[in-house]
Every structure is written in structure tokens, then in C-alpha cells.
Amino acid sequence: MSVVSLVIPTRNEAETIGECIERAQRTFAEMNLEGEVLVLDSSTDGTSKIASSRGARVIKPDKLGYGNAYLRGFEEARGDWIVLMDGDLTYGPEEMAKMLPLLAGGYDLVMGSRLKGKIMPGAMPPLHQYVGNPLLTGILNRLFSAGISDAHCGMRAITRQALQKLNLKSGGMEFASEMVIEAASKKLKIAEVPITYHPRKGASKLNSFTDGWRHLRFMMLYRPVPFLLVPGLLALVMGLILTAGVYLQGESRMHSLTLGGLLLVIGYQMLLAGLHFGAFGAAYGLSGSKAVKKIMSYHSLEKELLLGMALLAAGIFFGARILMSWGASGFGALDAAQNAMMAMILSILGIQTIFSGMFISLLLLNSGWQED
């Protein structure tokens, strides 16, 4: 007989945790399964006491955070199958009856889908239901080919063997995305079942824009190329063409030169940010994209410092020409706006490159990446 561990992170769920545990235990009995309930409690109310009185094993996580609670729960869980669920009864424990047979049938991870199931009135804000969740899930599917409809559903079940293959580290709400991304990257068999989503009792702990950004930021760590490197390269090329064209023509077209310089600096900063995300992903132990891995494998501090010093020297050269021209005119009126703009652009690029090289090298110091 398979053993099931139901892991529930809680924070001030005294109103619902008792009923949640009782319904979960009934479901185990109806399915003729041996089950345990683990409550990872970070509450300041009576949640812990109520959970213990209902037969749950209560554990206090070392750190606050949605992901941290689950990571600790996975360490403590004894089951062959592990179910993840919130303690506010937005998900019914009875949904396990749909999910666990799929694990028995050979699937590694079973996701609940609120968007394919039923969302009760007042359970999910329209912004989440029609914009946030579909958009973020669509991006995740596009980048990682997960093939699911609701990446942020908190009701899911996984086998112990599959869980051990995942490199899960996130301590916050982005844990929900990390689990799906890791599962898709490791080619696990993923199934999805429609479930009913109920209104929660008490105040919601979600922050729409902050939590949405966390999920998006985490996807950028895995795949910085479409978010940063490609748009940055496009802006950089456009800026180079515009800036070089204006300067080589020798005409006074400050508006075009300003726009070109702006695109150049923005594009270059986006490219560097993409490298920073890639370096952090490498240091953090994320799988990362093949393009970023290739760039990182050729990275060395010396190369980047030389490039930065060359750009900075070019900026200083243009600045020195301006000073010499100003001195030759008796330090009177100075009309060298284009040279001044070029000096500023090159100096900015040089400084960015130098400090970027230092930052990436620090991130890669203990990550196992070797510099050439």
C-alpha cells in the first residue's frame, strides 16, 4: 500500500485548518490509503494547536515563505506520494481522489487546474482569472513546453522519485513556477485534472503585482535570452547604426544622436542584465538556457576588463579632444556637442563593462564555472 503525505503550509489558518485535516483524513480512509498530514505552520494564532489536536504533525519552518515551508515539508514527509495543498479550503482535500490514481498509473506530477475546472464566485479576482494566470502560464508553456493550463494552482501531487529529481530552492511564491519548470526541464510525465476553486475565508495573503513579478523574474533566470538578450541586441544594433551614421556624416543632428545614444546605452544595459541573470542562474544551480551557458563558458574577467578599458579610453579620448579644442579657442564659447555626446556614451559603456565583468566573476566564483 502506498503512503501519502499531505503537506500544508499555513499562516493564521485557525478558522479552516481543523476541517481541512478532517476532510483529508476521510479521503485517505475512503481511498483505503495510509496517509499523514504535515502542517508547516508559521502562524501567530491557534493554527498549530488545532492542527495537532486533529492528528496532524506540526512543524515550524526555519524561514518564512511559501517555498521554504514546502522545502521543509518535503524533508519531513515519509510518503511515496506527496500532495501539496493550502490550508484555507480554497482547494477541497477530496480532489486527491482524482489525482492520486494518476500517480498510480505512471504519471510523475499531477497538477490541478482551476481554469479548466470550476471557479466559484468570489474565489479568484477577474484580473488573475482572465489576465495574470493565463498570461504567466502562457509564457511558461512557451519557454518550457510544460503543456499545462494553470501553472500557479497550489493543488498538486508528485511521486517521491520524481520529487528527488527536481532542484527546488525558491523560498517564496515563485516556488510554484520553479516546480513546474523543473518538472518540464527534467521531462517528467505531467498530468492535469480539473478542480473546483473555492473562496478563501479571511484575508488573502497574495499580492497580485509583487507575486506576478516574482514568477516572471524566476522565468527570466532560467531563460534570459527572450526577455533581455534578444531585445537588448536589437536596441544595441539600432543604436549603433544611428549613432555611427550621425557621427560619420559630420552633420549636427543632435536629436538623432541623442536617440541613437539612448538606444545604445539601453540595449547594452539589457545585454549585460541578461548576462547577470545567466550568471546568477549558474551560481544558483539553475539549468539555464544553452545560449547563456555558452556565453558563460567563454566569460573571463580579463576580456571584459580589456573591452571596458578600451571603451572608457575612447570616451576619454573624445573628452580630451573637446578640452584641447576649448583651450585652442581661448576657453571661450564651445560648440562640440556631438563629441561631448560620444565621450559620454563611450565612457558609460566602458564603466558598465568593467563593473559588469567584476560582478559576473563574483557570481561565478563558487558556481563551478571555469573562466578561460
Q: What is the pLDDT of residue 347?
A: 75
Contact 176, 256 (CB under 8 A): no
Angle at 128 between CA 186 and CA 111, to 5 degrees: 30
Contact 87, 10 (CB under 8 A): yes
User: How many angstroms separate the Cα of 308 from the Cα of each of 228, 312, 348, 353, 360?
Assistant: 20, 6, 9, 5, 14
Q: What is the pLDDT of residue 371?
A: 42
Residue 355, class by beta-carbon neighbours within 10 Å (0-12 exposed, 13-18 middle, 19+ buried)? middle
Q: What is the pLDDT of residue 204?
A: 64
Q: What is the pLDDT of residue 268?
A: 82
Residue 268, class by beta-carbon neighbours within 10 Å (0-12 exposed, 13-18 middle, 19+ buried)? buried
| Contacts with 349 (C-beta within 8 Å, 6 or more apart), sequence order | 264, 265, 268, 308, 311, 315
Domain definitions of the chain by residue range: 3-221, 223-364
Query: What is the value of pTM for the model shown?
Result: 0.75
Q: What is the pLDDT of residue 91?
A: 95
User: How many angstroms separate the Cα of 326 from the Cα of each of 247, 315, 334, 341?
Assistant: 20, 17, 6, 16
Q: What is the pLDDT of residue 215?
A: 85
Q: What is the pLDDT of residue 59?
A: 96
Q: For domain 3-221, is the CATH number 3.90.550.10?
A: yes
- In the predicted model, residues of the chain with pLDDT beneath 50 are 331-334, 367-372
Angle at 194 between CA 192 and CA 196, to 5 degrees: 140
Q: What is the pLDDT of residue 178?
A: 92
